[in-house]
Amino acid sequence: MQTAGVSAPLEIRIDRKVFRSADGTPVTAIEGLRLTLETGGLTAVIGPSGCGKSTMLRILGGLDHAYEGRLDLPPDLRIGYVFQEPRLLPWRTVEANVRLVLRRQENADPTSLFESLGLSDMRQRFPTELSLGLARRVAIARALVIEPNLLLLDEPSTSLDETTAQRLRALILDIWTTRRTTTLLVTHNVREAIALATRLVLLAPRPSHVLADIPLALPQDQRDETWIEAKRSELIALYPGIVA
Amino acid sequence: MKLLASLFSAASFVAVWSIVALYAGSRLMPPPWTVVEIMLAEIASGDLPYHLMMTLGRVAAAFTAAMAIGSAIGLAMGRSRAVNGALDVWLVVLLNIPALVIIILAYVWFGLTEAAAVGAVALNKLPNVIVTIREGARALDPELDQMARAFRLDWKKRLFDIVLPQLQPYVAAAARSGLSLVWKIVLVVELLGRSNGIGFQLNLYFQLFDVATILAYALSFVVVMLAIEILILQPIETRANRWRVRTT
C-alpha cells in the first residue's frame, strides 16, 4: 500500500464563485477563500449549511471550473471523491462498482480493501440491496481503490443513525491512520470534525471565506467525550452562530 | 394462470374463425385447417422458408441500421442543445412523412435495389428511435456523470457502464415498437419493388385472389415475429433488468 501522498502542499484559492439562482439573480457563494492543505493531514471544513462547503469540494475535485481563482495542484494528484450520496451504479455489483474506477493497467486486487472495510460478503451484491451506511462504505472503497493522494469526503455521516455514523467515523479514522492520505472532510457536524481532524477550518456564511484555522494537535485516540465537548463549547463561545 | 388465459385467448380466436369460415363457406374465407394445410405444403416446397428468410434479412438489416443510427443521433440531440436545435426540424419532417412516400421516393431516386428497400424501411423507423432515445438522454442522471468526471473515467466506461445502462429501458421500448413497425413496412417495400419476400408473395396471391395462401404466409410470419419477441427480446430484457428485481 502506498501510504504517503504528494509532498507539495495543495494550494486552493477561490477569489469568487457566483451562482445563478432560480430567478436569475446572481448569488456570491464564495469570496476570497484561501486554503493550504499540508500533506498527510486530515482537515475538517465546517460551517453552516449553504456556506459553500460542497461547492469548494466540487471545485477542488475538478467538477466545477466556473470560478475565479486558481488551484495549485501537483500533476500526479489522484483524487478519491466520496460524494454525499453514494452515487453507485445500481446495475453493477459492489465489486464492479469499485473496479470501475481502476484504469486498465492497474489491475489492483481489491480483496484486502473489501476486508478492511467489512465489505467482503457484499462483493456480489447490487447497491440497491445495501443500506445507506453500507453503500457509503462501498463509495469509500471506490475512492480508495485508486490509491488516492487526496481523499475528499462530503458529509460522510449525514442521514445515518448515530451507531452507523459512529462506525463510519471510526472507519475513516482507521483509514487515515493507516494510510496517512491527505484528507479533506466536509461536515456540518462539529463533534465529528473535532473527533477526527488534525485541523479545523471554519467557513463563514455566504459569501464564504475562511473564518478560522484551528490545529488540533492531540492524537485522535486520546480525545475523549469530555475533551471533544470542551473543545466544542470553546468554539461555540468564540464563533456564536457559526458553530452549533 | 397467465398461460391458461393465453391458451383460452388463442382457442377462442381459432373457434370464431372456424365458425365464420363454415358459415361463409367461401373461397374468400378459408377455415384454419385449410390455411395450415397450405402452410405445411409451402414449407415442404421450400417456398415459404425462402421468402421468409429474405424478409427476415431485410427486417434485421433495417432494424439494426435504424437502432444504431437513431440511438447515436438521439443521444447527441438529448445531450446537446446545439445538435437538438440543428436537427429538430429534420426530425419533425421525417416523423410526418408517410411511410409510403419515403418508399416511393427511395425507389424512384435509388432504383429498385436492395439498398433502397432496406434504407427506406430504416428511414421510416429512424425518427421514432431518435425521439425515444432523446428522452432517455435527457433523463440521464447528472450525479453519476459527475462521479464519472471526478474519477476521470474514459469515454468507453462512461458509454457502456453509465450511459447505456440508463438508456436501456428506452432502447428496449424503441426496439419493441421498432420491430413491429419495421416488419410491417418491409412487406410494403417488398410488395412495391422486390421480387422475393413475404410481401412479394402476398402481392402475387392477391392477384390470384388466393386468400388461403395469403393467410398462410401472413400467419407464418406473425408466428416467427412472436417467437423473436418471446425467445429473444424478452429474455434480453429480463437479463438487463436483473439488478432491478432485487429491490422488492
**ipTM here:** 0.86
Taking the C-alpha atoms of residue A14 and residue A28, their distance in angstroms, rounded to an integer, is 12
Taking the C-alpha atoms of residue B190 and residue B183, their distance in angstroms, rounded to an integer, is 11
> For residue range A102-123, what is the model confidence (pLDDT) as tens digits?
887 666 778 888 888 888 898 9
**Burial class of residue B29, CB neighbours in 10 A (0-12, 13-18, 19+):** middle
Q: What is the pLDDT of residue B246?
A: 52
Q: What is the pLDDT of residue A7?
A: 65
| B162 in contact with A, Cβ within 8 Å | yes
| B246 in contact with A, Cβ within 8 Å | yes
3-class DSSP string for B59-107: HHHHHHHHHHHHHHHHHHHHHCHHHHHHHHHHHHHHHHCCHHHHHHHHH
Please name the residue of chain B whose CA is at the shortest distance from the CA of residue A59. Answer: B150
| B157 in contact with A, Cβ within 8 Å | yes
Q: Do B162 and A101 touch (CB under 8 A)?
A: no
Q: Do B147 and A61 touch (CB under 8 A)?
A: no
Strands (E), chain A: 10-20, 26-37, 42-46, 68-72, 79-82, 150-154, 182-187, 199-203, 210-215
Q: Do B247 and A129 touch (CB under 8 A)?
A: yes
> Would you say A106 and B161 are in contact if contact means Cβ atoms under 8 Å apart?
no
> For residue range A178-190, what is the model confidence (pLDDT) as tens digits?
989 999 999 988 9
Instruction: Give exposure, A204-228, as e/b (b: 16+ Cβ within 10 Å).
Output: bebbbbbbeebebeeebeeeeeeeb
Mean pLDDT, rounded, for A142-163: 90
The domains of chain A are located at 10-78+147-238, 90-146
Q: What is the pLDDT of residue B206?
A: 92
Please name the residue of chain B whose CA is at the shortest distance from the CA of residue A144. Answer: B151
Q: Do B146 and A63 touch (CB under 8 A)?
A: yes
Amino acid making up residue A102: L
Q: What is the pLDDT of residue B169?
A: 87
A157: closest CA of chain B, how far (Å): 19
Q: Do A129 and B246 touch (CB under 8 A)?
A: yes
Q: Do A87 and B143 touch (CB under 8 A)?
A: yes
User: Which residues of chain A make contact with B155, given a CB cutoff of 8 A?
Assistant: none
Q: Give the three cell numbers for residue B119.
A: 434504407
Q: What is the pLDDT of residue B143?
A: 93
The total domain count for chain B is 1
Q: What is the pLDDT of residue B70?
A: 95
Taking the C-alpha atoms of residue B124 and residue A145, their distance in angstroms, rounded to an integer, is 48
3-class DSSP string for chain B: CHHHHHHHHHHHHHHHHHHHHHHHCCCCCCCHHHHHHHHHHHHHHCHHHHHHHHHHHHHHHHHHHHHHHHHHHHHHHHHCHHHHHHHHHHHHHHHHCCHHHHHHHHHHHHCCCHHHHHHHHHHHHHHHHHHHHHHHHHCCCHHHHHHHHHCCCCHHHHHHHHHHHHHHHHHHHHHHHHHHHHHHHHHHHHHHHCCCCHHHHHHHHHHCCCHHHHHHHHHHHHHHHHHHHHHHHHHHHHHHCHHHHCCC
> Would you say A105 and A93 are in contact if contact means Cβ atoms under 8 Å apart?
no
Helices B164-193 and B114-138, axial angle in degrees (round to 10): 150
B153: closest CA of chain A, how far (Å): 7
Which stretches of chain B drop beneath a pLDDT of 50?
Answer: 247-248
Q: What is the pLDDT of residue A107?
A: 67
A221: closest CA of chain B, how far (Å): 32
| B150 in contact with A, Cβ within 8 Å | yes
Q: What is the pLDDT of residue B40?
A: 93
Q: What is the rounded end-to-end Cα distance, in angstroms, of chain A?
A: 38
A125: closest CA of chain B, how far (Å): 9
Nearest to B144 among A61, A81, A89 (CB): A89
Strand partners, A210: A203
Please name the residue of chain B whose CA is at the shortest distance from the CA of residue A58. Answer: B150
> Would you say A210 and A33 are in contact if contact means Cβ atoms under 8 Å apart?
yes
CA B73 to mean position of chain CA atoms = 19
DSSP state of A206: S
Taking the C-alpha atoms of residue B96 and residue B90, their distance in angstroms, rounded to an integer, is 10
| B105 in contact with A, Cβ within 8 Å | no
A residues 182..211 contacting B (CB < 8 A): none
Residue B10 lies in a domain: no
C-alpha R_g of chain A: 18
Backbone CA torsion sign across A83, A89, A95, A98: negative
| A128 in contact with B, Cβ within 8 Å | yes
Taking the C-alpha atoms of residue B114 and residue B109, their distance in angstroms, rounded to an integer, is 13
> For residue range A41-99, what is the model confidence (pLDDT) as tens digits?
999 999 887 778 888 999 999 898 888 988 888 888 889 999 999 999 999 999 999 99
Q: Do A91 and B165 touch (CB under 8 A)?
A: yes
CATH number of the CATH domain containing B95: 1.10.3720.10
User: Which residues of chain A make contact with B158, given a CB cutoff of 8 A?
Assistant: none
Taking the C-alpha atoms of residue B132 and residue A237, their distance in angstroms, rounded to an integer, is 59
Nearest to B150 among A81, A100, A129 (CB): A81
- Mean residue pLDDT of chain B comes to 90
| B172 in contact with A, Cβ within 8 Å | no
Size of interface A-B (CB pairs under 8 A): 47
Q: Do B243 and A62 touch (CB under 8 A)?
A: no
Please name the residue of chain A whose CA is at the shortest distance from the CA of residue B146. Answer: A63
Q: Which CATH architecture has domain A10-78+147-238?
A: 3-Layer(aba) Sandwich (3.40)
Q: Do B243 and A100 touch (CB under 8 A)?
A: no
- Mean residue pLDDT of chain A comes to 87
Q: Give the three cell numbers for residue A80.
A: 478519491
Q: What is the pLDDT of residue B226?
A: 83
- Cβ contacts of residue A78 below 8 Å, gap of 6+? A146, A147, A148, A149, A150
**Does A143 score more than 60 pLDDT?**
yes
User: Which residues of chain A make contact with B161, given a CB cutoff of 8 A?
Assistant: 89, 92, 100
Query: Which residue range is the domain that position B174 belongs to?
Result: 30-242
Q: Give the three cell numbers for residue B44.
A: 415442404
Nearest to A79 among B150, B153, B246 (CB): B150
Q: What is the pLDDT of residue B130?
A: 95
| B147 in contact with A, Cβ within 8 Å | yes
Helix (H, G, I), strand (E, B) or coil at A136: helix
